Amino acid sequence: MPLRFFPALAVCLIGVASHVLLDLASGVGVQLLWPFLARWSGWDLATNFDPWILGLLVAGLLLPLLFKLVNEEVTSGQKKRTGAGAAVFTLILMAAYLGARAYWHGQAVDLLLSREYHGRVALSAGAFSEVSTPLVWRGVVETDNTMEEVEVPLGSGDEFDSNNSVTRYKPEDSPALEAAEKSAAAATFLEYARIPIASVRRVEADYRVELHDARFPSDDDEPANVFLRIDLDSNSQIRREAFLFASSSNAQ
């Protein structure tokens, strides 16, 4: 039977909403109100490519076809409409999976904030999902002068040791850093970055300031991992600024 307008519109709206929800659940996020507002929103519940979500979607697509073939064989070729129930059940399973990930994410953040890191008190923390298992999270903790990166296992047999964290020191205040952070490019990057961290180094007589997003591992080469490089002269005047992919050859 032909699908009427309003049921078709409802199906389309559900498809659009589910796509946006998956973007929100990913570690990158989405600009919900673009082009009116450039602010990024995200829940850090899953990776851009989550094999568990992919497995649920593939199962929801293929199992109804298998059941249909079995049903036609049993009923001597009489065809029946199938698939709607499986689709609804798949959506319920995905909602339950993301709900469980939200619970584990909260547990990971609470655990990160409850510990000290090499004697330093945690000021803020973020937990980011790993592809391998929903029960292991990559934690990033900000202290007064460092960023600490540590693995957060939530399994019953695993123990979280905050002193196993990898320490990255924040740069000291300087005219070059202050000038770079006041630039328009830095303002754009800080709207995107979830956990910004800066580095400053001398390049001959000049300075090079880089702003990275600590939610991405240093060896992460996915396209979402971009950083800002600003070159300044000896008087802290900006000479060049560029957004670069961490995986590009120019990132070296």
185 token code pair: 């490019």
209 token code pair: 């300031």
Question: pTM value?
Answer: 0.81
Q: Band of the pLDDT at 60, cuts 50, 70, 90?
A: confident
| 121 DSSP β-pair partners | 116
Average pLDDT of 17-21? Answer: 86
Q: Is residue 193 classed exposed, middle or buried when 0-12, 13-18 and 19+ CB atoms within 10 A define those classes?
A: buried
Is the pLDDT at 82 greater than 60, yes or no? no
pLDDT digits (tens, 9 = 90+) for 208-243: 999 999 999 888 888 889 999 999 999 999 999 999
Higher pLDDT, 21 or 64: 21
At 21 the pLDDT is 86
Domains of the chain by residue range: 44-167, 172-251
Is the pLDDT at 71 greater than 80, yes or no? no
At 251 the pLDDT is 53
Q: Report residue 148: phi and psi, to 5°.
A: -110, 130
Contact 40, 29 (CB under 8 A): yes
DSSP state of 165: P
Q: What angle do CA 102, 103, 104 make, to 5 degrees?
A: 95
At 47 the pLDDT is 82
| Dist CA 21 CA 36 (whole Å) | 20
At 89 the pLDDT is 83
At 40 the pLDDT is 87
